[in-house]
């Protein structure tokens, strides 16, 4: 059993809490203003990218030794015309740089909350793409996700987070433009 702390109780945070909990793991859900200590070995950042820096700054010492799962898509929500991180970086890389004593894994950013809850995208099972540099951290995240009934594909090193964020950005802009539904998205055929 793995103990997981999730920052955020919106659509994604709630959906991930359901996945983690259905895998018989302990779940702690906090909002950004909650003063409770982080209890999880895995910490999921299920908040908008713009809120991450404040959470990291306020709790930096609590993240040491944790597996931190970044689900953010650093989309410029004013223009929907790009990502707000440098072209050679990613939100996950920025978080990893801010938390050198944590192990950062990118996951869940290429899915919508509805497909996590339904555990399918149309006729296909929901697949969570992950990326990270620490094999043990990725293995732990895979175990938690698979125990919750989802499929996982390891996309490689943390530097692949940039491509995962671009895919998430594309999916968000398609949904915002009503070209796909918020309960739809990309599926993976193996």
Question: Is 17 within a domain?
Answer: yes
Question: Is 21 within a domain?
Answer: yes
Question: Is 137 within a domain?
Answer: yes
pLDDT tens, residue by residue, 90-135 = 999 999 999 999 999 999 999 999 999 999 999 999 999 999 999 9
Give the chain's residues under pLDDT 50.
none
What is residue 172's predicted lDDT score, i.e. its pLDDT? Answer: 95
Question: Is 55 within a domain?
Answer: yes
Tell me, what CATH number does 39's domain have? 3.40.50.720
What is residue 109's predicted lDDT score, i.e. its pLDDT? Answer: 98
What is residue 24's predicted lDDT score, i.e. its pLDDT? Answer: 86
What is residue 53's predicted lDDT score, i.e. its pLDDT? Answer: 96
Tell me how many domains the chain contains. Answer: 1
Sequence-ordered list of residues with C-beta below 8 angstroms from that of 174, at least 6 positions apart, any chain: 180
Q: Is the dihedral of CA 158, 159, 162, 167 positive or negative?
A: negative
Question: Is 25 within a domain?
Answer: yes
- Could you tell me the residue range of the domain that residue 56 belongs to? 3-176
Question: Is 186 within a domain?
Answer: no
Question: Is 16 within a domain?
Answer: yes
């Amino acid at each position: 059993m793995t103990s997981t702390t999730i920052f955020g109780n919106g659509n994604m945070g709630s959906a991930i809490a359901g996945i983690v909990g259905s895998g018989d793991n302990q779940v702690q859900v906090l909002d950004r203003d909650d003063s409770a200590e982080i209890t999880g070995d895995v910490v999921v950042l299920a908040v908008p990218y713009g809120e991450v820096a404040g959470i990291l700054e306020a709790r930096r010492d609590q993240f040491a030794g944790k597996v931190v799962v970044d689900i953010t898509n650093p989309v410029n929500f004013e223009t929907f015309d790009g990502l707000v991180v440098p072209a050679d970086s990613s939100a996950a890389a920025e978080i990893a740089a801010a938390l050198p004593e944590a192990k950062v894994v990118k996951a869940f950013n290429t899915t919508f909350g509805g497909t996590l809850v339904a555990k399918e995208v149309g006729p296909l099972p929901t697949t969570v793409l992950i990326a990270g540099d620490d094999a043990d951290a990725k293995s732990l995240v895979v175990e938690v996700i698979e125990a919750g009934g989802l499929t996982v594909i390891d996309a490689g090193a943390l530097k692949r987070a940039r491509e995962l964020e671009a895919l998430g950005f594309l999916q968000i802009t398609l949904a915002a433009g009503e070209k796909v539904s918020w309960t739809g998205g990309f599926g993976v055929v193996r």
